[in-house]
A and B are shown apart, each in its own frame.
Chain A
Amino acid sequence: MKYYRCELHTHTTSSDGKMTPEELVDRALACGYDAIALTDHNTTAGVKRAVEEGRRRGLTVIPGIEWTTFWGHFAVTGGKSDVLWRDITPENVGEKIKRAQTLGDIVTIAHPRRMGYPLCSGCHCDYDIESISGADCYEVWSHYYPNEGVAARQQKEQWLSLLAEGHRLSVVYGYDWHNRDDVPPSYACTYVGSEGKDADSILRGVKSGATYISIGVEVECKAVSGGREYAIGSEIASEETEIELSCFRSEDYRSDKPTKLTRAEIVTELGKESFPIAFGEKIKAKATFERFCVVCIYGERKREEQLLAITGAFYRGGNG
């Protein structure tokens, strides 16, 4: 399995984006992505052009749409579902998510804690969180300056509390790409562990939970338990689990690069514990958890300690 650089939340001139589908593909290649998903607001009108251009230029383009409802947004990828955004209400949202999943799509809760009405109406998630917790992914980071500010903190807290309640949500970053940014201001990237870089393999990787989000850091992380190795997103049966972790500088990262790493933090429903870590160094740490275990990487960037990467969860479950 290899981790691919993906951006699963983008827009074009088919909604309120500034780039045509062809320009989006061009910029995505220039930014070093292996795969993107096109998720225009409430329309798939640009998908065919983007997929064709991607095929011509060597970029995987995953068909998608952003359900842009009055009470919250969802990036829905796969291009298979027949759910009409206008039919989604606070009463039936859980069923609509399930319908899209049954037909083969992946549903991501998009920028749930971003400011909504009256600035970006519908951008803030007003749905009862329990009713949408069956989604596949959660955008813990979003848009510009993704790891800074109140919304990023609240999203991380909400995602962790959903995991603690036993929900399984892959971690993703959503650039929510609308503009023709040459170097996006302080952008991040979703890395997806997958057997291949075609759309179906990437989506399977996302669904399996094998993702991490990062700013300038490439992460190798696995769990070792009962003599077996587990990828991010796996269920682990045994109580004895060791996390193996190495971090490297991302060659593709351009602006405000992290200067050094400071620590890795293992977060579970029981609490958190930090370990010193440096670029290129391999660390091993015991993890004790009943529900989930997530790794957060911190480092120095913009002259302060910042959260630079978050892995998807390892879950307790299965029978080994």
Chain B
Amino acid sequence: MATLFDRVCVLTKKDQSTHRKLYFEVPEGAKKLHISVRYEPKYNYDEEYGLDLIERSMLKQAGEPLMTRGEMRAALPLDNHLSFSLDSPSGAAGTAHRGNNVQNFTICEDSADGGFYPCRIEQGVWTFVISVTCIITDKIEVAVKIEAEA
């Protein structure tokens, strides 16, 4: 198994609603990609921060209370949410929009999981995209490891 990419990417609140692109090169002869992602932290356990952010956001979005204090409390702790996409040299190869902060994917010509499309593991430059749906901690460290199997 050859490691094609193994790095930790740091996101901050400035990255909210942006896409971070990571490039990696697939060598000739690869048949399968294994991608493992882990991001930390998942949760923000600061209750006061959470309640205040929910209340301010709610009033900004709805102009009136959408939730009671009890419902707001039940929505805690707030969590970070990232989604991940893959582009092969020929185009989009799917997106994983899932809640958990540890995710593993295998992609090859006849099968793929987690929202990705089965596709030929062509030689060339691929892109792994981190989409920052929600960041509610000062930073998120995202460890991305991509390996190729011949």
- Provided the pairs A115-B61, A150-B64 are in contact, do residues A45 and B54 lie with their beta carbons within 8 angstroms? no
B81 interface hit (Cβ, 8 Å): yes
Closest to B91 in A: A84
The smallest beta-carbon distance between B84 and chain A, in angstroms, is 10
The smallest beta-carbon distance between B83 and chain A, in angstroms, is 7
The smallest beta-carbon distance between B107 and chain A, in angstroms, is 11
Task: Determine the chain B residues whose CB is within 8 A of the CB of A113 once the complex forms.
Answer: 61-62
8 additional A-B pairs beyond A42-B115, A43-B117, A86-B85, beta carbons within 8 Å, are A41-B97, A43-B95, A70-B133, A71-B17, A115-B57, A115-B67, A117-B134, A119-B78
A127 interface hit (Cβ, 8 Å): no
- Point out residues on B near A: beta carbons under 8 Å: 17, 19, 50, 53-54, 57-58, 61-62, 64-67, 75, 78, 81, 83, 85, 92, 94-99, 112, 114-117, 129, 131, 133-134, 136
How far, in whole Å, are A113 and B63 apart by their CA atoms in the complex? 11
**Count of residues in A whose CB is under 8 Å from the partner chain:** 28
How far, in whole Å, are A3 and B14 apart by their CA atoms in the complex? 48
Asked if A151 and B62 sit within 8 Å, CB to CB, the answer is yes
Asked if A150 and B66 sit within 8 Å, CB to CB, the answer is yes
How far, in whole Å, are A85 and B19 apart by their CA atoms in the complex? 12
A118 interface hit (Cβ, 8 Å): yes
- Point out residues on A near B: beta carbons under 8 Å: 14-16, 40-45, 68, 70-71, 84-86, 113, 115-119, 121-122, 124, 149-151, 154
> Which one of A15, A43, A124 has the greatest number of beta carbons of chain B within 10 Å?
A43
Contact of B95 among A41, A116, A118, A149 (CB under 8 A): A41
The smallest beta-carbon distance between A115 and chain B, in angstroms, is 5
Task: Determine the chain A residues whose CB is within 8 A of the CB of B17 once the complex forms.
Answer: 70-71
5 nearest A-B pairs in the assembled complex, by CB-CB distance? A41-B97, A121-B134, A70-B17, A42-B95, A43-B115
Task: Determine the chain B residues whose CB is within 8 A of the CB of A15 once the complex forms.
Answer: 96-98, 115
Task: Determine the chain A residues whose CB is within 8 A of the CB of B95 once the complex forms.
Answer: 41-43, 85
The smallest beta-carbon distance between B5 and chain A, in angstroms, is 20
Asked if B57 and A116 sit within 8 Å, CB to CB, the answer is yes
Closest to B116 in A: A45
How far, in whole Å, are A222 and B98 apart by their CA atoms in the complex? 43
Contact of A151 among B66, B98, B131, B136 (CB under 8 A): B66
